[in-house]
Structure 1
């Protein structure tokens, strides 16, 4: 388990340098974009992208939203995407692309707090992996929390889901493997749920479902609901959410998590 290649990217911002790293997973060369701070790494943010292929690809600007002077931010491309070897498995073997990277970073920076952020598709990508990793918390933002709900609400994606996973009834076992709540326990790391009430790509009922499920097992969580925003907040509504995410990570690290709340 090691980084096999590091490529310097033309990314030089105030506090970070950018690299495309390649690491080995199941004999596959999987790539990720990494922003390395000039200062000592005290926090790591692992951004789990949404989409597939070029849709939702990992971008520098997105990673920088979660960076500060002492934060390493990294976004795995997943196998079969953007130059990574293999075939995208959509919550299958590609989950190893996440777990391997997190364990690798934890080995390199054992004293750094690690937070995972899953956006859209990345929501379930994180829920299916974070609970068994050395992480401090998971943030699910506009994220899928239940694959069956995704199949029901996104009629336009049913063909893709049938090709990659199968039909929920005919391939019930494959869908059952992708049910994250069977793995999450009351002692799992805490979760921040961020969602827009006007989200038409991943309906807010995905967030409500997850909040209720976490409540039922008494896992610590917090919710941030933006009543007037969609899948991606408008620019004026983006800054408050990013501030709340930063506050959440700080609260978790200092063990000062308060009750949940909403942003209007």
Structure 2
């Protein structure tokens, strides 16, 4: 009889452990050594007495931790990055949405340091996904299809982090990441704010202004693109999805007037639709700014921080 009780106890214990494992989204966390990459190390630091010392502009890295993570999204193991402030107890959360497709534009040590860690140093827990099918992630890239779930599934990832306050969350995306941000807002109103830089919001206009996208992006990444073109492009274009978009999440739109990758007309057209549908937003156009607004980085950081602080730190 005693032996049966032990067997029963073992079964119950295993069942609880199995259930806990199923509910856990974060599968692994590996600290990033920012000095391991020699090119990155030379960008952010100098050697003094055989020790790396951060340059003044990068001293914010002393206040944050950067990790590479693997998490579950629709049963797939997906890669990403996480940056957490070393100070404080609880912080608002930001989901950063990368641009590009496939390996192009993927998150790496540089973006983790220059973007995710920078935002984290302002007092935010920041997490970003590579999206399925990319950089060792399971699944297949869909360029705004089912991979939007890889963004939504970062919400339970954040809920597992002690320092993350998920009652105050924001989205921050650039280029294709802007598309992912807009599409996420058609599926969730959990976010207090959103920021989009050089946002891809009209795939029809992108095809007109960048005909190289048809073969290199659409046909390559969008499932059944050849036989489902209209539905596929409309479903991924924020300009066609405004009616479904959350009307309580204020959006900051940043775009360069000399953006040759994603023309500024996309931001103007979407802003007009936002006005008609009373979606709160602010559009800032940077004169002669390129796609990454690289020559306006100080102002971009200022506007981004102000927007986050306004809506998440109250």
- TM-score computed with the length of structure 1 as normaliser: 0.88
Tell me if the contact between 2:242 and 2:277 (Cα under 8 Å) persists in the aligned partners: no
Higher helix share: 2
Tell me if the contact between 2:203 and 2:234 (Cα under 8 Å) persists in the aligned partners: no
Residue 145 of structure 2 is aligned with which of 58, 70, 92? Answer: 92
> Which consecutive residues of structure 2, in runs of 5 or more, have no partner in the other structure?
1-22, 36-60
Partner of 1:158: 214
- TM-score computed with the length of structure 2 as normaliser: 0.74
Q: Deviations over 1:42-72 (max 9, x none)?
A: 2222110101233212122222332325211
Partner of 1:41: 90
Residue 201 of structure 1 is aligned with which of 238, 254, 261? Answer: 261
- The structural deviation recorded for 1:119 is 0.2
- The structural deviation recorded for 1:171 is 2.6
Tell me if the contact between 1:21 and 1:31 (Cα under 8 Å) persists in the aligned partners: yes
- The structural deviation recorded for 1:167 is 5.3
Q: 1:234 to 1:126 in 2, by over 3 A?
A: closer
Q: 1:54 to 1:147 in 2, by over 3 A?
A: same
Give 3-state SS (helix, strand or coil) of 1:134's partner: coil
Residue 125 of structure 1 is aligned with which of 180, 185, 199? Answer: 180
> Which consecutive residues of structure 1, in runs of 5 or more, have no partner in the other structure?
256-264
- The structural deviation recorded for 1:168 is 8.2
Residue 57 of structure 1 is aligned with which of 87, 103, 106? Answer: 106
Partner of 1:261: none
Q: Deviations over 1:122-171 (max 9, x none)?
A: 11111001341421111110110122222222111111313333558853
CA distance in 1, matches of 2:301, 2:211: 31
Whose radius of gyration is greater, 1 or 2? Answer: 2
CA distance in 1, matches of 2:160, 2:64: 21
Residue 230, structure 1, aligned to residue 278, structure 2: no
Tell me if the contact between 2:64 and 2:117 (Cα under 8 Å) persists in the aligned partners: no
C-alpha RMSD of matched pairs (Å):
2.1
